[in-house]
Structure 1
Amino acid sequence: MQSLHFDADTLSSKTMSAEAAAALIPAGTHVGMSGFTGAGYPKLVPQALADRIKKLHAAGEDFRIGLWTGASTASELDGVLAEADGISMRLPYQSDPTVRKQINAGQMQYTDIHLSHVAQLAWFGFLGKLDVAVVEVAGVLPDGRLIPSTSIGNNKTWLQLADKIILEVNSLQNPGLEGMHDIYYGTRIPPQRQPIPLLHAGDRIGQPYLEVDWSKVVAVVKTHQPDRNSAFAAPDENSQRIANHIIEFLSQEVALGHLPKELLPLQSGVGNIANAVLSGLNAGPFENMTSYTEVLQDGMLEMLKSGKLSMASATALSFSPDALKEFNDNIDFYSKRIVLRPQEMSNHPELVRRLGVIAMNAMIEADIYGNVNSTHIMGTSVMNGIGGSGDFARNAYLSFFMTPSTAKDGSISCIVPMVSHVDHTEHDVEIIVTEQGLADLRGLSPTQRARLVIEKCAHPDFRPALRDYFERALASKGGKHTPHLLTEALSWHSRFVETGSMLETQDQPEARRA
C-alpha cells in the first residue's frame, strides 16, 4: 500500500533544519513523539524546540507542550524539554531524572497509563486532540512508506491521528532493520472490533512499513544520531539468587506438567534483575524458548545468539553498547528471529492471554497479602510509572514480581504490612520473589499468603516484626479474612520518613503497644 500524497519531489520540498521544524510546533499543543525505552526517539527536533522555548521564556513568553510518547525516551528529548520548563503534561511513562523531579515537585502534570491503553485512549478521544507528531524513522521508500526505527511504540497511532507530522530520518540506523517490523492496521474502535489474528509469538499479521499521509507532513529533518545506549551492571548476588529461585520454580512446573518443556512465551521487564533471570535461563535446561515482550534487551539477545531462544517479539530494542554492536554486526541473523510491533500489539491483553505469557516484572514493594507497588516511593513520589507490567500481570499464564528484600542499605524492607501505593492488587499477583525465596500465592487465602510471603520473601532483619504485626492483627477485634491494624499498617513508611529507617528502635515496640 502506497502512502498518500507522495511523489518524487515531496521529500526534498519538505526537508529543513531541526530549528525550522521546531518553529512549526505551537505552544499549548499535544505533541506525540516516538521513543520507547531509549530507542527510536527523535534526536534533533526536541533539542531545537527546547532551545526555542528557553529563548521565549527569557523574553517573557509562556510556552509549554503536552508530551506523549511510547514509553521512556532519553535526555535529548525528555531531559532537554524538562530543563527548558517546556512540558506541561507528560504521559504515559518516563524515567528522566529532571522530569521525575518536576513531577514530584508539582511543576509538571503526569498521567501514568498502562502502555497497551495509550493508543486506544487516543483513538477514543479521551486524551484530547493530538496536534503534532514527531517521529523518527530509519528511511523513506520511493512510494512514501516509512521504514520504522529501533522502536515502534505508538508511532502508527501518532501518524494517523496528528494534524501535523514532523519526520526525523535517521541515517545512522542500520538498513538491516527494514523488514523486521510488523505493523498491524486491523484495529478498530468498538463496536467494530474483531479478534486479532495472532496465534504464535513469531506470527506476522501486518506489514513491515508505516503508512503516512504526506499532506500532513510539514517537515523532514535528516539526522545521523545514535540511540541512548547504557551498559547494564553485572548481576549482583541478590539478582542471581532471584534468578535461581525463578528457574528452579519453572523447572518444577515443567515436571508437574503445568508448562511445556520449552516453556511459554517469556515477558521480561527492564533492568539488572531481569537480565540476571534471562542469563540464568540461557544457561538453564530449557530449549527452543520464545518471547513475547515489550523491550528486547541484552539478556534476550544472548539467548537468541545461543539458540536457547528461537524467536522474540517486542516493540523496542534497548541494548547496551556491546550488545548493539553484536546486533548490528549480525543483523541478518537477528532479523530472521526478531519481530517489532506497535505497543498496542506487544502489550495487548488479548494476545498476552491467548499466548499464555510468563510475565516477570520488577516492583518497589509488596505487602504480606500480595499487593504490589511498582511506581511510588513512600506512597507519594513517583519513580517511573507502571509501564507494561499491568498489561502482562493480569493476563499472564504466570505472573512474577521480583525485588531484593531490602533497599537503601537495609533501611527499607521491600516486604511491608501494607503497600503505600497499589499498582497490582493481590488478584493479579501470583508469585513474589526476593533473594530470600519464592512465594507461590496461587489459590491461597489472604492469611495463607501472608504467612508464606513473610517466611519466604522477607529479610531476616524484618521478619520478626512482620510476624508480630500479622499475629496481632489476626488477634485484634477486626475481621479475620485480611487482618490489618489500621493505626500501624503504614507505620513502617512513616518511620522511614521520620527516621531514615523502617527498623524499629528498642523502645518503639513497647511504645507501639502502649
Structure 2
Amino acid sequence: MGIAERVRFPQFHNRIMDAAAAAALIPHGATVGMSGFTGAGYPKALPQAIAERAQAEHAQGRPYKINLWTGASTAPECDGALAQAHAIGQRLPFNTDPLARQQINAGEIDFIDMHLSHVAQHAWFGFFGKMNVAVIEVLGVTADGLLIPSTAIGNNKTWLEIADQVILEVNTKLPGAMEGMHDIYYGTAIPPRRMPISMTHADNRIGEPYLKVDPAKVIAVVETHGSDRNNVFNAPDADSNLIASAIIDFLTHEMQAGRLPKQMLPIQSGVGNVANAVLAGLLHGPFEQLLGFTEVLQDGMLDLLRAGKMSRASATAISLSAQAFEDFEKNLDFYRSRIILRPQEISNHPELVRRLGVIAMNSMIEADIYGNINSTHLMGSSMMNGIGGSGDFARNGYLSFFVTPSVAKGGKISCIVPMCSHVDHTEHDTQIIVTEQGLADLRGLSPKQRAKVVIEKCAHPSYRPMLQDYFDRACAKGALHTPHILTEALSWHQRFLDTGDMRV
C-alpha cells in the first residue's frame, strides 16, 4: 500500500514531497520534536535528510544544528545520523546512541536528562521555550484528517499541539492494520484546570484511537518505507535467570502473606535481557490474568499474552525483536484487542502508577549499601542513557525492584558500592534490590539495617568483605545513623579510574 492509499485526506496531497525538500524547511537553530520511543515509531527519512543538509552547510563553513526532543531513544538512522553530522545542539530526554553519547560526554551536545512523565507537561507549560517543528511518524491519515499513530506514541500528542509547524512521515511498511490499537487521551489540562483521569484499571480505554493535528500546521508529508530498529534480546543468561527467580519467589511469598492480591497487580518492566528474563519467569510462574502497565512492550509480554497468562498490556511503544515483530504482524487481530498504546504522559503518569498499584522492575548501574540508586552515570560523570521512566515507577509503584548483576567488567567493578557516584533514586524510593547473589527487602529498615542486608544478600563474594570492612569502620568512626567515611566513600570509583579495578 503506497502513500496515496495511506493518506486519505485530500488536503495533504499537495504537500507530499521528498525528505530533502522537507528538511530544507527546518532552519538552523530550530527546536524539533520528533516521534520515537525505544527504537519504535521514530522518523526514518527526515533525520537523515537533516544530517545531509547539516554536512552540506558545514562544508560551506556555515553552522547548522537543531535542538532535538523526543519521547525516549530512537535509532542509528535518527540520533546516530544526526550525531554523525554534528547536527544536534540540545537533546532531551533520553539517548542510547553511542555516538550521541560520546558527544554528550564530550560536552558537544547539551543533554537534559528528565523523568519521562515530566517531558510533555514541562514542554506544554512552556518551560523549555517554543517548539518550531514537529516531525511525527504515522501509519496514515484518515479521510477526516486524523492521524493513525505508529508503533510508538510517546510525546506525539503534545508535539502536534505545541509545534508551530508539522511534518508527517507516513510509513507504508509498518502495518496499517494497527489502526484502533491506540488510546489517545485528550483530557489533560494545565493547572489549575486539571481534572482526575478516569482510569481505575490498567486496561481501561479512556481516549481516542487517533492523533489530532491542525491541518494548517502541516507543511510537508513524506513517505517512508522502513522497519523500526528491532531489538536483539539474547536468551537469558544464568545471572538473569537467578534475578528473575528471586523476584518470582518474592512475589509468590508476598501473595501468600496477603500483601499482594491473588489476581496480581499490574506489571511494569524496564527494557533489556534481565527484564525479559523476569517476564519469562512470570510465564512459568503461578500467576494468572496478569496485566501490563508499562512503557515498552517487549518480547516477553507478547509471550505472556499469547500463552494467556496476561490478559491485556498497556504501553506507549512496541519494541520487539525481528522474530517477535513478525509474529505480531501476522497475528494483529489477536493482539489488537489485547494491547493498548497510550501517550507517555499517561503510561508514565505517577498518579496512575500509584492508583493502579503497579509493580515496578527497573535496572540500575549501581546501588550503595544504604539503597541509593545510580541509573544513569558511569563513574559519576559519564552519562550512559538517562533516567527514563524508572523514577516515575520507582517512587510511585506498589512494589519497586531495582536489578543488576552484582559485578561488571569481568569483576573489576562492583555494582554494590559504599556510596553511589551519582544518585538518581534516593534510599527513600528504593524498596527491593536484586542481584544474582540474592534479594534485599529494604522495606521498614533503618539505614544501618539496610546496609547489613544489602551487603549480605546482594554483594558479590569478592567484594563482600571489603564492603563489610568499610561499614564496620564507618560505624566505629562517625555518626551512627548513616555511617560513612567521607575520605573513602568514593575511593572505589577513583581506584577503578586509576587502576582499572575497584579491588585493592
Q: How does 1:166-185 map to 2 (within 5 A)?
A: 166-185=167-186
Q: In structure 2, what is the Cα distance between the partners aligned to 1:501 and 1:38? A: 33
Q: Are the equivalent residues in 1 in contact too, given 2:399–2:431 (CA < 8 A)?
A: yes
- Aligned match of 2:493: 493
The AA in structure 1 aligned to 2:278 is: V
Aligned to 2:300, what secondary structure does the other structure show?
helix
- Name the CA distance, whole Å, in 2 between partners of 1:498 and 1:159: 49
Q: Which residue of 1 aligns with 2:111?
A: 110
Residue in 2 aligned with 1:413?
414
Q: 3-state DSSP class of the match of 1:215?
A: helix
Name the CA distance, whole Å, in 2 between partners of 1:132 and 1:230.
28
Quick one: distance in 1 between partners of 2:231 and 2:205? 30
What residue is the counterpart of 1:287 in the other structure? Answer: 288
Q: Secondary structure at the match of 2:82?
A: helix
| Amino acid in structure 2 at the alignment position of 1:419 | C
- Is residue 139 of structure 2 the alignment partner of residue 141 of structure 1? no
- Aligned with 1:31: secondary structure? strand
Matches within 5 A, 1:340-379: 340-379=341-380
Write the distance in 1 (CA, Å) between the matches of 2:23 and 2:260. Answer: 52
1:396 aligns with 2:408: no
Q: What runs of 5+ residues in structure 2 fail to find an aligned partner?
A: 1-6
- Tell me the CA shift for residue 8 of structure 1: 5.1
Shift of 1:78: 0.3
**Distance in 1 of aligned mates of 2:169 and 2:381:** 37
Q: Could you report, residue by residue, the CA deviation over 1:150-192 in whole angstroms, capped at 9, with x for unpaired residues?
A: 0000000000000010000111111221000000000000000
How far apart are the structure 2 equivalents of 1:222 and 1:370?
49
Per-residue CA deviation, residues 89-135 of structure 1 (Å, 9 max, x unaligned), is 00000000010000001111100000000000001110111000000
Question: Take 1:362 and 1:403, find their aligned partners in 2: how far apart are those partners?
Answer: 6
Query: Residue 15 in 1 paired to residue 19 in 2?
Result: no
Q: What does residue range 271-310 of structure 1 map to in structure 2 within 5 Å? A: 271-310=272-311
Query: Distance in 1 between the 2:89 and 2:232 partners?
Result: 31
Shift of 1:7: 9.3
- 1:223 offset after TM fit, Å? 1.1
CA distance in 1, matches of 2:270, 2:113: 17
Match of 2:3 in 1: none
Identity %: 67
Q: Does residue 1:37 correspond to 2:35, yes or no? A: no
Letter in 2 for 1:145: L
Taking the TM superposition and a 5 Å limit, the aligned residue runs for 1:40-189 are 40-189=41-190
Where does residue 238 of structure 1 map in the other structure?
239
Structure 1 ranges of 4+ moved more than 4 A:
none
Letter in 2 for 1:265: P
- Summarize deviations over 1:479-513 as a string: whole Å, max 9, x none: 10000000000000000000000011xxxxxxxxx
C-alpha contact (below 8 Å) 2:140/2:148 kept by paired residues: yes
Q: Measure the CA separation in 1 of the matches of 2:23 and 2:483.
A: 56
| Alignment of structure 1 residues 458-473 onto 2, 5 Å | 458-473=459-474
Question: Which residue of structure 2 aligns with residue 214 of structure 1?
Answer: 215
Q: Deviations over 1:52-84 (max 9, x none)?
A: 110000000001010000000001110000100
1:415-494 pair list within 5 angstroms: 415-476=416-477, 478-494=478-494
2:97 aligned partner, one-letter code = D
- Counterparts of 1:51 and 1:175, CA distance in 2: 29
Secondary structure of the corresponding residue to residue 409 of structure 1: helix
Structure 2 CA distance, aligned partners of 1:407 and 1:484?
A: 24
What do you get for the CA RMSD once the two structures are aligned?
Answer: 0.9
Q: Determine the C-alpha separation between the residues in 2 that align with 1:155 and 1:7.
A: 20
Distance 2:375 2:362 in 1: 9
Shift of 1:230: 2.6
- 2-structure distance, mates of 1:8, 1:138: 13
**Structure 1 residue 317 displacement after superposition:** 0.1
Q: How far, CA to CA, are the matches of 1:47 and 1:397 in structure 2?
A: 42
- 1:27 aligns with 28
Q: Is the 8 A contact 2:8 2:142 kept in 1?
A: no
How many Å separate the matches in 1 of 2:128 and 2:235? Answer: 40
Distance 2:47 2:349 in 1: 29
For residues 275 and 185 of structure 1, the distance between their equivalents in structure 2, rounded to whole angstroms, comes to 32
- Report deviation, 1:10: 1.2
- The one-letter amino acid paired with 1:397 is Y
Q: What code does the residue aligned with 2:463 have?
A: F
Q: What is the CA distance between 1:261 and its match in structure 2?
A: 2.0
Match of 1:509 in 2: none
Letter in 1 for 2:497: V
**Structure 1 residue 9: deviation in Å?**
3.4
Could you tell me whether the CA contact under 8 Å between 2:361 and 2:402 is conserved in 1?
yes
Residue number in structure 1 paired with 2:204:
203
Separation in structure 1 between the aligned mates of residue 168 and residue 270 of structure 2, nearest angstrom: 29
Distance 2:124 2:52 in 1: 31
When residues 264 and 472 of structure 1 are mapped into structure 2, their CA distance, relative to the original with a 3 A threshold, is same
> In 1, distance between residues paired with 2:450 and 2:123?
39
SS at match of 2:346: helix
How far, CA to CA, are the matches of 2:148 and 2:125 in structure 1? 27
Name the TM-score, length of structure 1 as normaliser.
0.96
Q: How do 1:498-513 residues align onto structure 2 when only pairs under 5 Å count?
A: 498-504=498-504
Which amino acid is the alignment partner of residue 275 of structure 1?
N
* Structure 1 unaligned residues grouped into runs of 5+: 1-5, 505-514
SS of residue paired to 1:427: helix
1:186-207: CA deviation from partner (whole Å, max 9, x where unpaired): 0000000111101101101110
Shift of 1:474: 0.3
Q: Which residue number in structure 2 is paired with residue 383 of structure 1?
A: 384
Measure, in 2, the Cα distance between the counterparts of 1:56 and 1:343.
Answer: 35
1:224 Cα deviation from its structure 2 partner: 1.0
SS at match of 2:429: coil
Aligned length: 498
Could you tell me which amino acid in structure 2 is paired with residue 238 of structure 1? D
Aligned to 1:25, the other structure's residue is in SS state coil
Q: Distance in 2 between matches of 1:7 and 1:352?
A: 37
The residue matched to 1:139 in structure 2 has which SS?
strand
- 2:9/2:145 contact within 8 Å kept: no
Amino acid of the structure 2 residue aligned with 1:426: E
